[in-house]
Amino acid sequence: MNKQEKILVTGSAGFIGFHLVEQLIIEKYEIVGLDIINDYYDINLKYDRLFQHGILKEKINLNQIQKSQKYNNYSFVKADLKDHNFILTLMENEKFDYVINLAAQAGVRYSLINPKAYIDSNIDGFISILEGCRHSNVKHLIYASTSSVYGLNTTMPLSESLPSEHPISLYSATKKANELMAHSYSHLFNIPTTGLRFFTVYGPWGRPDMALFLFIESMINKKPIKIFNFGKMVRDFTYVEDIVLSISKLINKMPTKDLSWDPRNPTTSSSSAPFKIFNIGNSNPVSLMKYIQTLEESIGIKAIKEFYPLQDGDVPETHADVSALEDYIGYRPNTSIEDGINYFVKWYLNYYKIN
């Protein structure tokens, strides 16, 4: 691997993007991070993530690249993926070898409130990335999808070959659309693309709208935590560093055309185009109640529990089959929830200065 290869990481002020940038800095790639820094959740957390990588809030200007004050192989630009002309110009000028698109409007429930945000970011923004890859000879596009694309499918474990045409939220529908859009560009323009279906990611520097964050905040403040589907939820909780290591190992594993792909009996996770789809999950699902119990033990506080029905857009169970990923890169996520939650709690108490 050429250590001076250049990577664009979108969503670099976000949860997974922050951790990925950290890993790629260590691996000596030349990295440009991009993020619009929207206010979907606390922007101070986003600015603090950027600061960890030497990006100063007071020097951030829209569409201007700022060099890191800490790392000579990292730069950042605040930009909107919907700004089609800027994204294309940036990608043509910088000549990225790889693009990792993590930028998206996240959140299942928010898609019920503000659906247009998902079209703007996840559809309109993604076409800018695809067009940029097309016109700048990018070697490999890796992009975030989600386990939510499986929707109404209840066949466990969920494998990439299973149908995913019945999403139950607009968020998951936009992510399924990303997979289809990527395939069309792989087919038409021979762009190697890899879509990653993430399963319930958690860990330090996480998103405040996600369950672990909401639980610990309520527990510390002696407020009830809301438990949906009356606690009968099972999730394939996946620690963020396992996600990041998987992405890192995929960067220079560009998909090639599957010569055995049969159009009369098509599989969904590969193609006659240079296209791949992978699950990334812990493949060891646990009940939500076990997850909460582990958090209680880690922080030493008993949660006050309130039980509610299943929310619109939620599924009762997820379980990732990651055998395809392991066969492809020789790695599978393996962090236990006990270790992962302990790492998160340690970070949370330190970040928010809680004794």
Q: Is 105 helix (H, G, I), strand (E, B) or coil?
A: coil
Tens of pLDDT along 219-249?
999 999 999 999 999 999 999 999 999 999 9
Tens of pLDDT along 93-126?
999 999 999 999 888 878 888 899 999 999 999 9
What is the pTM for the complete model shown? 0.96
pLDDT at 1: 43
- Please give the mean pLDDT across all residues of the chain: 95
Query: How many other CB atoms are found less than 10 A from the CB of residue 148?
Result: 26
Closest CA to 19 of 5, 30, 9, 28: 9
**Is 295 a member of any domain?**
no
Which one of 171, 185, 291, 348 is the catalytic residue?
171
**Is 218 a member of any domain?**
no
Share of the chain above pLDDT 90, in %: 92
| Domain containing residue 96 | 6-206+237-283+320-335
Q: Which CATH number fits the domain that encloses residue 20?
A: 3.40.50.720
**Is 252 a member of any domain?**
yes
Query: How many other CB atoms are found less than 10 A from the CB of residue 266?
Result: 10
**Is 159 a member of any domain?**
yes
Tens of pLDDT along 30-64?
999 999 999 999 999 999 999 999 999 999 999 99
Is residue 343 annotated as part of the catalytic site, yes or no? no
Tens of pLDDT along 300-350?
999 999 999 998 878 889 999 999 999 999 999 999 999 999 999 999 999
Instruction: Give the contacts of 19 (CB within 8 A, at least 6 positions apart).
Output: 203, 205, 240, 241, 243, 244
**Is 106 a member of any domain?**
yes
**Is 231 a member of any domain?**
no
State the total domains in the chain: 1
pLDDT at 111: 86
**Is 243 a member of any domain?**
yes
pLDDT at 290: 97
Cis peptide before 224 (omega within 30 of 0): no
**Rounded to the nearest 5 degrees, what angle is found at the Cα of 130, between the Cα atoms of 87 and 239?**
95
**Is 216 a member of any domain?**
no
Question: How deeply is 326 buried, as exposed, middle or buried, from its count of CB atoms within 10 A (0-12, 13-18, 19+)?
Answer: middle
